[in-house]
Amino acid sequence: MTGDSVVLLVDDDPEIVESYQEQLNETYTTRTAFSGEEALDELDETVNVVLLDRRMPGMTGDELLELIRDRGLNCWVVMVTAVEPDLDIVALEFDEYLIKPVSSSQLNDVVERMLTREELDAQIQQIVEIGSKLATLEAKLDYDQLQESNHYRELREEFSQLREEIEVTEYEDDPYLEATVENIDALLPNL
C-alpha cells in the first residue's frame, strides 16, 4: 500500500517542503510544488495524497483544493496550515486539517490514515457489491435453495472474510474509519 503511494507536498515555503519531504521520503514517493500553479502541473491520477498549505501567494490552497475537486482527481487532500479553522472551512472539501507546526509522526500518521481510507473504500465497494448479491438471492430464493447452492455459500464466505478485514481496531482514533465500519454493520445487518 505505501511503497507505491505518491504524496504531493504543496507549500510556498521551501524549508517546510524540504522538511516534509525528508520525513516522508523513506516510506512514500514524494513530489513537491511551491505554488498552486506548480501543484497543478504535478497533479495526476497517480497522486494519492496532497498535503496542502492554505496561504500561498497567487493561487491559494483553498482555490487549488476547489480545482482538484472540480477536476475529479481521486486523491485525499490534507490541509496543513497555520490558519486556525473557522466557519470558512465548512465549504472546503478537504479530508483532514492539521495546524502547523506538525511533527514527523503527525505527517506520517495522517498520510497512513488517508491511504487506509483509500484501501478501506475499495473494500467497502466490494463488500456492498457482494452484500447486494446476497440480499437479492435471499429475497428471491427459499432457504433450501440457498443451502444447496455452492455459489451462495462462496459469496457468504467471501462476504465474511471481507467483513473481518474491515476491522480497523488500530485506527480507533479515526472517526471516519469508525463511522464507516458502523455504517457497514447498519446497512448489512443480516449478512
Q: Is residue 23 scored above 70 in pLDDT? A: yes
Cβ atoms 73, 49 nearer than 8 A: no
The cell for 58 is 497567487
Q: How confident is the model at residue 79 (pLDDT cuts 50, 70, 90)?
A: very high
Phi, psi of 126 (to 5 degrees): -70, -45
| 106 membership: H or E segment, kind and range | helix 104-140
pTM given for the model: 0.71
> How confident is the model over 32-67, as pLDDT tens digits?
999 999 999 999 999 999 999 999 999 999 999 999
Instruction: For residues 21 and 124, give the distance between their C-alpha atoms in angstroms, rounded to a whole number.
Output: 31
The CB density around residue 15, as the number of other CB atoms within 10 Å, is 8
Residue, of 129 and 148, whose pLDDT is higher: 148
Residue 96 zone, left/alpha/beta (φ > 0; ψ -120 to 50; rest): beta
> How confident is the model over 82-106, as pLDDT tens digits?
888 777 777 788 988 999 999 999 9
Mean pLDDT of 171-191: 62
Q: Determine the pLDDT at residue 1.
A: 46
Percent of the chain with pLDDT over 70: 84
In whole numbers, what is the pLDDT of the chain averaged over residues?
85
Q: Is residue 190 scored above 80 in pLDDT? A: no
Q: Determine the pLDDT at residue 172.
A: 57
The CB density around residue 90, as the number of other CB atoms within 10 Å, is 7
Q: Is residue 150 scored above 90 in pLDDT? A: no
